[in-house]
Structure 1
């Protein structure tokens, strides 16, 4: 079960903890068996948003500042949409969104980001690329100073051989000087820190959408670009630690 203190939270999912918020939308589920938590999405219809999500804060009730998120987990197969884990300040507004997480993105149609990335706000670092010219995108994003909506910090993935269906230990180390990303003890990315005073929640999710950026959007938010998945895909979580 989960335990909290001013400096640490740990859950090995041997039982249900009231620390977490459990969310499912449409074709999604959350289950727990033999100390493994399973967040699953699919099969999903393309026109409907489906999401399974585990988090520990809502809106402005955000518990973490400059902590380390660590989790042992894996994905169970090829997935269209997004999945990720780390810290987030729970807003999709362009000017306020501040995520510090690992994120998988894949779509069937044209989309700039097809791969697995470290992300801090508008800053991205490629870890594994599924398809597309990440070198060209990185150059264009830096040349335009992020006017594409993101700034991609490297033209080369840091761990192209990564298999997301195997168990790995992922760590997001949030500090005043920057955010470090580690997989199995090896640093795979470092990105600029969020603004001082940022608060965030821990978040793990899998859904059937990638996210669209339109600078003329009336709500000034990232929109869901939903995908069809013929099979169920899950994130299996062995433990989460925050310290």
Structure 2
């Protein structure tokens, strides 16, 4: 667990790389948030904009809900609004197959990944893999784009999930990780045979508590962005900041 009592800025990517490699016989685990950490965008929103254009009716319903959500966020707590949004997403995707969604998610990433990846953290992910760490994505985005990207990067994945029937067709929404990543992180780690220290990278203020509970929590922050480190009522003691 982190022992420092102040936020420690990382002066270089090289400092962050220290200690990521295999230590003894235990394999370190390195997890990366996706939206804003590895990908410069909102994964669920961007994938839906790409996928639902095929169906004009569903696309218009989705756009209407996005507009409504922008109004409601002034009055409804963000976690509650996120869950309402994902319920809407689940209904819009009803009857689509998991295979079709994964196929289109793969096409989505092939078209946008090179231009919208955040290269600093993507390079850190690649370095962690080379050092022998177990690497995974941990994201509140829906599973088709997260799983497709995890396959592309050859890493694990922990994410929100749609609900599927026995034939693999969407029936609605399953689980939401927004603000709830800690129990699913523990569940994922319990599924590994053995593991060493756990490092998590995230730009999301809702992930602060998770960052504080792992061995090494690293806040990913653009130099002009003070959303996390200066946000009121968000304790960041013991964490590092990686400026990108």
Q: Which has the higher helix share?
A: 2
TM-score normalised by length of structure 2: 0.28
